[in-house]
Amino acid sequence: MRKERMVIEGVVILVCLIGGIFLWQEISKPMQLPTQSTKELKLSDFPESFKDNTLIIVGDKASDIEMQVANEILEYLETYGKTEEEMKIKCCVECIASFHPAEATKPHCGYFLTHSCKKVLNVSNVFDLEVFGFCEKTLNEKGFKITQEVIYPDGRKVCNLNIYYKPGYCKCPDGSTKIKKINELGEEKEICVDSLKIISYSKITDEDKRNFNLIVIGTPKTNPFFEEVYVMTNAMRVMEEFPGKSKGILEILPNPWNKEKAMLLVEGSDDWGVKAGSKILDEVQDIDKINVIIEWNGKNAVFLKSIPQDKYLLLSLHQEISGSPVMIDFPPKIHFNKDSGILECDSCNFEINKELSAVILNTIELRESGGGGGGGIIPIYTLPDSHNLPFLMKIKYIDSNGTIYLSYANTNIVLKPKEYYTGKFEKEWMGHKVICNIRIDNHGLYSKDKIKLERREGEVYKKGEPITFSINAKVKLWTNELPFKIVNEKGESIKLKHSCDGESGSGFDQYCKNGKIVGKEVYQLCNFSKKWCYGCSDVIFQKEEYVNETFVWDQKEYVEITEECEGKIIRREIKKQVPEGKYQIIVNGKVIKEFIIK
């Protein structure tokens, strides 16, 4: 094999939106979203448009999940863009400012702290002298002066949060804002109030609606505020049957009470749809849409598939890597005809069904020695999620027109059909300086009926030559079983694993040494990955598991040999080359690969 330069191709089937080998799953039929608002607000404007002067509105009888969502969003906004050190300073300023000037009835700093600051300083709604002392010391060390106000090193003053002041007298702490109020004497004064807070539906005023950005959380049943929004805007209306069980909608639009402010709707048909909306907010920050439909699948929040069921998106990813010691297995051979739209793949094992949304054609070019072939640690067609590679690609969202939102090495990329992206990335990885030049092409939407998955009949291997194959499917199997079996031309299964003693969690071999029987426990029961080969269990049950892995078979099987020792017959298992002949690899009762060994 030439080590100077090697190009290896492969296929990736993507499932869902989260790590692992993704398969974009459709939970229900594609849903048409309404036309965009006149103001160019997009979900990518979150959280920037809501980092200040924002009210989070929940229903008076909000569920525990809805309150959890509200608090998570509040904490996210309060800490957005701030380092740990900046948060500590911010919170200490709030604590000290809420306590001064000294009065007969001193306010308790904990009462005025924002949600996130209570966590940073570990203080509740009761004044904590130890925390107060810590904050005084911290601010003094940073050059602050503490009198009746907290004075920043640059001279800015922060006043007590609950005392009226003349306009312009002092600023408010970070996380608070000035509003004009009429004091007890009828004078117009200023007061600092939290600029980010949670408020229940019955307590919000018309003034609040006009003065703040709004984030509305819940379902139409638990939060009546949604009905007010529906009357005044063209926002997508959520009902129990739409978008449906465990589904929700994220939508951004101008605040109808003040078009200069923004409004975000985090709504669902039920609690789980609301939860899905909050959990996927990090992803929508890169999406230039006004609304998306999401679902809680029991473990994660995912986007609902929007492309037609008979179509799939075809991408190609070429990575030219230098400086990396990666080893690479040989993946299936692929061919794509741009003119006809036909995609052919030998020995690919994935299903063409309504769940399939995207296929990625991968090529990796190793520019330096250090690459390997069969038996390597990285099967290319498991990209882009393999944690063993320094550069990772992640698909976030596919629009109905074939536009794709993805990230590569934490760089956000948006590609319309027929567009491409090139970039150069560097990273220190496993003690090496790795350089990767990439090109990602969005070939657009193609018909699924033009995917042709064909097995190679009678492929010939020499004795001892590694045989590589991949599985990308849900597999039914029993405890301790491999997700496949290999049979000879007589239909007999090849013994690919050492026998198992479930009680000990290992295999057991016997040897005769110096005329004595010696036993040895065997934990490495085969030569595939640790997941399938290390140890065993006596708890036997059938399960269904999604398998996306490359396997390399060394053409050997386990055979039992016996001998006599101490007047007894002892047994052990050894690996032995299988005979010449025809073989098949079977998954879920279907042949995925046929070959000949000679």
Q: pLDDT tens digits, residue range 28-47?
A: 333 334 434 445 899 889 99
* Tokens, residue 323: 């400086």
Longest dimension (CA), the chain: 109
Residue with tokens 């040999």: 561
Distance of CA 486 to the CA centre of its chain: 35
Q: Name the residue ranges covered by the structural domains of the chain.
A: 6-23+306-454, 43-53+212-303, 79-193, 459-597
> How does pLDDT run across 476-521, given as a tens digit for each residue?
888 889 999 999 988 899 999 998 875 668 888 899 988 899 988 8
CA distance 192 to 176: 6
Residue 216, sorted as left (phi over 0), alpha (psi -120 to 50) or beta, turns out to be beta
CA distance 55 to 44: 19
Q: Which residues contact 36 (CB under 8 A, 6 or more apart)?
A: 290
> How does pLDDT run across 532-573, given as a tens digit for each residue?
988 888 788 888 888 888 899 999 999 999 999 988 998 999
The better pLDDT of the pair 333, 523 is held by 523
CA triplet 405, 411, 415: central angle to 5 degrees?
Answer: 30
- Tell me the average pLDDT across 231-235: 94
Listed residue (99, 147, 155, 103) closest to 123, CA to CA: 99
Q: Which residues contact 2 (CB under 8 A, 6 or more apart)?
A: none
Using the predicted structure, report yes or no on whether residue 12 has a pLDDT greater than 50: no
Residue 56: band (very low, low, confident or very high) from pLDDT cuts 50, 70, 90:
very high
Using the predicted structure, report yes or no on whether residue 10 has a pLDDT greater than 90: no
Using the predicted structure, report yes or no on whether residue 387 has a pLDDT greater than 70: no
Listed residue (348, 358, 359, 361) closest to 10, CA to CA: 361
The reported pLDDT for the residue numbered 367 is 63
Contact between 357 and 305 (Cβ < 8 Å): yes
CA distance 572 to 147: 83
CA distance 235 to 231: 9
CA distance 92 to 103: 20
**SS3 letters for 116-173?**
HHHHHHCCCCCCCHHHHHHHHHHHHHCCCEECCCEECCCCCEECCCCCCECCCCCECC
The reported pLDDT for the residue numbered 376 is 28
Q: Mean pLDDT over all residues of the chain?
A: 79
Pairing of strands 311-322, 358-366: parallel
The reported pLDDT for the residue numbered 258 is 94
Residue 326: band (very low, low, confident or very high) from pLDDT cuts 50, 70, 90:
low
> How does pLDDT run across 59-92, given as a tens digit for each residue?
999 999 999 999 899 888 888 888 889 889 988 8
Span of 198-202, 413-417, 448-452 with lowest mean pLDDT? 448-452
The reported pLDDT for the residue numbered 7 is 41
Span of 168-182, 361-375, 403-417 with lowest mean pLDDT? 361-375
Backbone angles phi, psi at 327, to 5 degrees: -105, 145
> How does pLDDT run across 118-131, given as a tens digit for each residue?
888 888 767 788 88
Pairing of strands 378-379, 328-329: parallel
Which CATH number does the domain 43-53+212-303 belong to among 1.20.120, 3.30.1560, 3.30.379, 1.20.58? 3.30.379
- Secondary structure (3-state) at 174: coil
Using the predicted structure, report yes or no on whether residue 212 has a pLDDT greater than 80: yes
Residue 458: band (very low, low, confident or very high) from pLDDT cuts 50, 70, 90:
low
> Is the peptide bond between 243 and the residue preceding it cis, with omega within 30 degrees of 0?
yes
Using the predicted structure, report yes or no on whether residue 382 has a pLDDT greater than 60: no
Burial 320-340 (b: 16+ CB within 10 A, else e): bbebbbbbbbbbbebebeeee
- Tell me the average pLDDT across 268-277: 92
Residue 183: band (very low, low, confident or very high) from pLDDT cuts 50, 70, 90:
low
Contact between 332 and 51 (Cβ < 8 Å): no
Task: Please state at what angle helix 64-79 crosses helix 271-279, rounded to 10 degrees.
Answer: 10
The reported pLDDT for the residue numbered 287 is 81
The beta strands (E) that lie in 385-484 are given as 393-398, 404-408, 411-415, 420-429, 432-447, 451-454, 459-461, 467-478
Residues above pLDDT 90, as percent of the chain: 28
Bridge partner residues of 571 (DSSP):
562
CA triplet 221, 223, 228: central angle to 5 degrees?
Answer: 105
Residue 388: band (very low, low, confident or very high) from pLDDT cuts 50, 70, 90:
very low
Hey, which of 143-147, 192-196, 576-580 has the most confident mean pLDDT?
A: 576-580
H/E stretch holding 590: strand 590-597
CA distance 496 to 481: 10
